[in-house]
Amino acid sequence: MKEIHTRIGILTAANPGNYPLLAPIVRRSGGTFLRVKEAELPRYGREMRQSRGVLLGPASMVCYAGFFQAVDRGLIHNGDTVLLNTGEGCERAQWFKTEVEKES
Protein backbone atom coordinates (compact mmCIF):
# COMPACT_ATOMS: atom_id res chain seq x y z
CA MET A 1 0.00 0.00 0.00
CA LYS A 2 1.25 3.47 -0.86
CA GLU A 3 2.27 5.57 2.13
CA ILE A 4 0.25 8.79 2.40
CA HIS A 5 1.79 11.97 3.83
CA THR A 6 -0.72 14.61 4.89
CA ARG A 7 -1.75 16.50 8.01
CA ILE A 8 -5.39 16.29 6.89
CA GLY A 9 -6.59 13.07 8.49
CA ILE A 10 -9.69 12.60 6.33
CA LEU A 11 -7.50 12.50 3.21
CA THR A 12 -5.47 9.50 4.37
CA ALA A 13 -7.95 6.95 3.01
CA ALA A 14 -5.94 5.03 0.42
CA ASN A 15 -9.17 3.72 -1.06
CA PRO A 16 -11.90 6.33 -0.52
CA GLY A 17 -15.18 4.60 0.22
CA ASN A 18 -17.33 6.83 -1.99
CA TYR A 19 -15.06 6.68 -5.04
CA PRO A 20 -16.89 3.71 -6.62
CA LEU A 21 -20.14 5.68 -6.33
CA LEU A 22 -18.80 9.09 -7.38
CA ALA A 23 -16.41 8.19 -10.20
CA PRO A 24 -19.12 6.96 -12.62
CA ILE A 25 -21.25 10.02 -11.91
CA VAL A 26 -18.30 12.33 -12.54
CA ARG A 27 -17.47 10.54 -15.81
CA ARG A 28 -21.09 10.50 -17.08
CA SER A 29 -21.51 14.19 -16.34
CA GLY A 30 -18.31 15.13 -18.14
CA GLY A 31 -16.76 16.20 -14.83
CA THR A 32 -13.25 15.69 -13.58
CA PHE A 33 -11.23 15.17 -10.44
CA LEU A 34 -8.65 17.84 -9.61
CA ARG A 35 -5.48 17.60 -7.56
CA VAL A 36 -4.94 20.20 -4.86
CA LYS A 37 -1.60 20.78 -3.15
CA GLU A 38 -1.83 20.78 0.62
CA ALA A 39 0.72 23.62 0.86
CA GLU A 40 -1.68 25.91 -1.07
CA LEU A 41 -4.61 25.43 1.31
CA PRO A 42 -3.73 28.19 3.82
CA ARG A 43 -3.79 30.72 0.96
CA TYR A 44 -7.27 29.58 -0.03
CA GLY A 45 -8.24 29.68 3.65
CA ARG A 46 -7.11 33.29 3.91
CA GLU A 47 -9.02 34.21 0.75
CA MET A 48 -12.19 32.57 2.11
CA ARG A 49 -11.80 34.28 5.47
CA GLN A 50 -11.18 37.70 3.91
CA SER A 51 -13.95 37.48 1.31
CA ARG A 52 -16.64 35.67 3.32
CA GLY A 53 -15.58 35.97 6.96
CA VAL A 54 -15.56 32.18 7.33
CA LEU A 55 -12.69 30.10 8.65
CA LEU A 56 -13.02 26.56 7.37
CA GLY A 57 -10.94 23.51 8.14
CA PRO A 58 -8.36 22.04 5.77
CA ALA A 59 -10.54 19.23 4.38
CA SER A 60 -13.25 21.77 3.51
CA MET A 61 -10.64 23.98 1.90
CA VAL A 62 -9.61 21.09 -0.37
CA CYS A 63 -13.12 21.25 -1.82
CA TYR A 64 -13.07 25.03 -2.23
CA ALA A 65 -9.56 25.01 -3.70
CA GLY A 66 -10.75 22.50 -6.30
CA PHE A 67 -13.74 24.72 -7.04
CA PHE A 68 -11.57 27.80 -7.57
CA GLN A 69 -9.15 25.82 -9.75
CA ALA A 70 -12.06 24.56 -11.85
CA VAL A 71 -13.32 28.13 -12.34
CA ASP A 72 -9.81 29.32 -13.26
CA ARG A 73 -9.46 26.49 -15.81
CA GLY A 74 -12.83 27.23 -17.39
CA LEU A 75 -14.36 23.94 -16.23
CA ILE A 76 -17.23 25.71 -14.47
CA HIS A 77 -19.30 28.27 -16.34
CA ASN A 78 -21.85 30.90 -15.43
CA GLY A 79 -25.19 29.16 -14.92
CA ASP A 80 -23.69 25.75 -13.99
CA THR A 81 -25.00 24.08 -10.87
CA VAL A 82 -22.23 23.25 -8.41
CA LEU A 83 -22.49 21.38 -5.11
CA LEU A 84 -19.63 21.81 -2.65
CA ASN A 85 -19.76 19.10 0.00
CA THR A 86 -18.10 20.59 3.07
CA GLY A 87 -18.92 20.98 6.70
CA GLU A 88 -15.69 20.96 8.65
CA GLY A 89 -14.62 23.94 10.71
CA CYS A 90 -11.02 24.53 11.71
CA GLU A 91 -11.39 23.71 15.41
CA ARG A 92 -10.16 20.13 14.90
CA ALA A 93 -7.11 21.36 12.97
CA GLN A 94 -5.51 24.09 15.06
CA TRP A 95 -2.35 23.91 12.93
CA PHE A 96 -4.40 25.02 9.92
CA LYS A 97 -6.13 27.83 11.81
CA THR A 98 -2.70 29.09 12.88
CA GLU A 99 -1.37 29.02 9.31
CA VAL A 100 -4.41 30.87 7.94
CA GLU A 101 -4.35 33.50 10.67
CA LYS A 102 -0.61 34.19 10.65
CA GLU A 103 -0.78 36.19 7.40
CA SER A 104 -4.24 37.71 7.83
> Are the C-beta atoms of residues 88 and 56 closer than 8 Å to each other?
yes
Q: Which residues of the chain have pLDDT under 70?
A: 1-2, 10, 12-15, 103-104
Q: With both helix axes pointing from N to C terminus, report the angle between 41-52 and 94-101 in degrees, rounded to the nearest 10.
A: 70
**pLDDT at site 72:** 94
**pLDDT at site 15:** 67
Separation of alpha carbons 60 and 65, rounded Å: 9
Q: What's the whole-model pTM score? A: 0.75
Structural domains counted in the chain: 1
- Examine residue 14 and state whether it is found in any structural domain, yes or no: no
- Examine residue 27 and state whether it is found in any structural domain, yes or no: no
First-to-last CA distance in the chain?
39
Separation of alpha carbons 43 and 104, rounded Å: 10
- Examine residue 15 and state whether it is found in any structural domain, yes or no: no
**pLDDT at site 42:** 92
Q: Which domain holds residue 63?
A: 34-101
- 92 Cβ contact partners less than 8 Å away, ≥ 6 residues apart: 57
Separation of alpha carbons 69 and 75, rounded Å: 9
